Structure 1
Amino acid sequence: MNNYELMVIFTPVLSDDEFKAAQKKFTTLVTDNGGQIVAENPWGLKSLAYPIQKKTTGLYWVLEFTASSDFNEKLKIQLLRDESVLRHMVTKLDKYAVEYNQKKRSGVPTGNEKAAEVNNA
């Protein structure tokens, strides 16, 4: 089982219920194929760096999960078939990224806070 992070940009015309249903669709896809959800983070509506399908905003959602490596192809096919998905990206996380994400979620200082304090002073 490998650790992955999935970032999806959904079309901004989705209602809150449709956005939650789309999230649930992909989380159940992961769990139905033997994976486990580690963390889920809906960022909400954000501006895009460039227009995609004549849209300048998108609904961002980040999912951290563990799954076997052959699952990625199934996930990619489902993401490409879904018309509400503007863009997606799956990243394999190494042990340092997993540790960093765990610290970030639990509120433990990650080391970047000191640099931010120095810059703000």
Structure 2
Amino acid sequence: LAYPIQNKNSGFYHLIQFESNTEVINSLEVEFRRDERIMRFLTVKLDIHAQEWAEKRKKRNLSKVKK
């Protein structure tokens, strides 16, 4: 970590990309807040440009794997 959070100097970072409706995301955020093992979390919604970029990146990565 760049600075201590809750007196902890190290941690794990995870990036999870998924599609879901608002109800599922809201319930996930409630569970994240309740779980004392999770120090911080950030949920973002991709705008149309970021979604297009992610699709292009995904296709490019898949084509590399197939070769």
Runs of 4+ in 1 over 2 A off after TM superposition: 102-107
Unaligned runs of 5+ in 1: 1-47, 108-121
User: Of residues 49, 59, 63 in structure 1, which corresponds to 2:16?
Assistant: 63
User: Of residues 97, 103, 113 in structure 1, which corresponds to 2:50?
Assistant: 97
Residue matched to 1:9? none
State the alpha-carbon separation in 2 of the partners of residues 52 and 66 from structure 1.
29
> 1 or 2 for the larger relative contact order (CA 8 Å, sep ≥6)?
1
Pairs aligned (count): 60
Unaligned runs of 5+ in 2: 62-67
State the alpha-carbon separation in 1 of the partners of residues 56 and 3 from structure 2.
32
More helix by share: 2
Render the CA deviation track for 1:28-71: whole Å, top value 9, x for unaligned: xxxxxxxxxxxxxxxxxxxx222111112210111111111222
TM-score by length of 1: 0.44
Q: Map residues 24-103 of structure 1 onto 2, 5 A cutoff.
A: 48-103=1-56
State the alpha-carbon separation in 2 of the partners of residues 89 and 83 from structure 1.
15
State the alpha-carbon separation in 2 of the partners of residues 96 and 81 from structure 1.
33
Structure 1 pair 103–56 and aligned structure 2 pair: CA distance change class (3 A) = farther
More strand by share: 1
